[in-house]
Amino acid sequence: MHASAKKALETFLAEDIGKGDITSNLLPRKKIHADIISRQEGIIAGVQYAREIFVSKKCRVKILKKDGWKVKPNEKIMTISGPAYSILSCERTALNLLSRMSGIATQTNLLVRLIRTVNPRVSLYSTRKTAPGLRIFDKEAVEIGGGHKHRMSLDEMVMIKDNHIAGSDSLLNLVRQAKRKYKKIEVEVENFQDAITAAKEGASIIMLDNMRPLQISKVINVLKRLGLRNKVKIEASGGIYTDNIKSYAKSGVDMISVGKLTSSVSGLDLSLEVS
C-alpha cells in the first residue's frame, strides 16, 4: 500500500473518532465478531483499504470478496474480529470508503459494458472531478471497474482547456509553446476549426467537449480527409452517461471521459453486522 494512501486512511479515521468514541467506550472490554455485508448487487472495490483501517486498530480481518468481484444482496464481503471498541470505532470510516469505491466501480463497470456492446476498442476514462483528499481512492475504483485513470494531477500531462486558451494569445501559439517543452499534449476544443488546428500542430489527444455524436463523426471525417486522423486520439467529453454513451462509442472516438463517475457517486449499500 502506498504511503500516501496509508496516511490518508489514518486521517479519515482520526476525523471520525476525534478524541475517542465515547459511546463504544461504554461497552465491556471483550472481543466480538462482525461481518460486512452487501445489501445490493454491485462490484466491490476498496477491500484492502477497509482491511487496513481495522488492522490499524488491532483487529483481525478475513477478506471474502476481492476487489473487482461481483456481489449480490446479503453476501459477506469480509469478517472482522477484535475488541468491540476497535471494530465499532472503525465501522463508519471503513464502510464509507468501501461503499464509495464500490459505487464508483459499479457505475464504471456498467458504462464499460455498455461501450463494449457497440465498440470494444473505445476506452472509458475518469476525470479530475474527484472529492478533495479522495483522488487516489476514486481513481483506483474506476480502474477496478474497468476504466482508466487519465490524469492524477496537473503535473502529469499538458491539457489545454478553454480557459487556458482564453488567457493566452491564441490556441495556435499555446500549442506550439507546449510542443517545444512536452511530447504529449491534450487540447480541448469546441469547434471544427480548433480541432483541425490542434491536429495539424501535433496534439496527442483532442478532446471534443460537449459535442453531440453526429458533430464528433463530422470532425473525425474531416480529419480523415486531411490525413490527420491516425496521428491523434479523439476523446469525447461532456454530458455523457448511461442514456447516451452507446451513441458516443459509435461515433468513432478512441476515448470517452465521464466526470460523473467520481463527481456524482452513489455508494453501494453495505452494512456491518455484529454476530
Query: Could you tell me the residue ranges of all domains in the chain?
Result: 3-107+265-274, 113-263
Amino acid in the structure at residue 134? L
Element (H, E) at 146: none
Q: What's the CA gap between 14 and 181, in Å, rounded?
A: 43
CA atoms 53, 54, 58, 60: torsion sign: negative
Q: What is the pLDDT of residue 63?
A: 98
pLDDT band at 167 (very low <50, low <70, confident <90, very high): confident
Q: What is the pLDDT of residue 28?
A: 84
Cell of 215: 458533430
Q: What is the pLDDT of residue 125?
A: 97
Decide if 166 contacts 147 (C-beta within 8 A). no
Q: Which residues contact 152 (CB under 8 A, 6 or more apart)?
A: 135, 136, 139
How far is residue 241 from each of residues 116, 201, 229, 238, measured CA to CA in Å? 14, 31, 25, 9
Q: For residue range 226-275, what is the model confidence (pLDDT) as tens digits?
A: 999 999 999 999 999 999 999 999 999 999 999 999 999 999 999 999 98
How far is residue 122 from each of residues 21, 147, 186, 252, measured CA to CA in Å? 48, 10, 17, 9
Closest of 195, 134, 275 to residue 126, by C-alpha: 134
Q: What is the pLDDT of residue 151?
A: 83
Q: For residue range 19-32, what is the model confidence (pLDDT) as tens digits?
A: 998 888 888 888 99
- Confidence check: pLDDT of 1 > 90: no
Q: What is the pLDDT of residue 153?
A: 87
Closest of 80, 71, 149, 74 to residue 108, by C-alpha: 149
pTM as predicted: 0.94
Q: Which residues contact 116 (CB under 8 A, 6 or more apart)?
A: none
What is the CATH number that goes with domain 113-263?
3.20.20.70
How far is residue 71 from each of residues 40, 65, 135, 175, measured CA to CA in Å? 8, 8, 24, 47
Q: What's the CA gap between 123 and 205, in Å, rounded?
A: 13
Of residues 99 and 162, the one with the higher pLDDT is 99
Q: What is the pLDDT of residue 172?
A: 87
Q: What's the CA gap between 127 and 151, in Å, rounded?
A: 7
What is the chain's alpha carbon radius of gyration, rounded to the nearest angstrom?
23
pLDDT band at 102 (very low <50, low <70, confident <90, very high): very high
Q: DSSP character for 102?
A: H
pLDDT band at 213 (very low <50, low <70, confident <90, very high): very high
- Confidence check: pLDDT of 96 > 80: yes
Mean pLDDT of the chain: 94
| Range 3-107+265-274 has CATH code 3.40.50.10490 | no
CA atoms 129, 134, 138, 140: torsion sign: positive
Cell of 100: 464509495
Cell of 68: 473487482
Q: What is the pLDDT of residue 2?
A: 81
How far is residue 29 from each of residues 24, 55, 85, 86, 87, measured CA to CA in Å? 10, 18, 8, 10, 12
pLDDT band at 105 (very low <50, low <70, confident <90, very high): very high
∠ CA 26-31-35, rounded to 5°: 100
Q: Which residues contact 204 (CB under 8 A, 6 or more apart)?
A: 183, 184, 185, 186, 232, 233
Of residues 26 and 44, the one with the higher pLDDT is 44
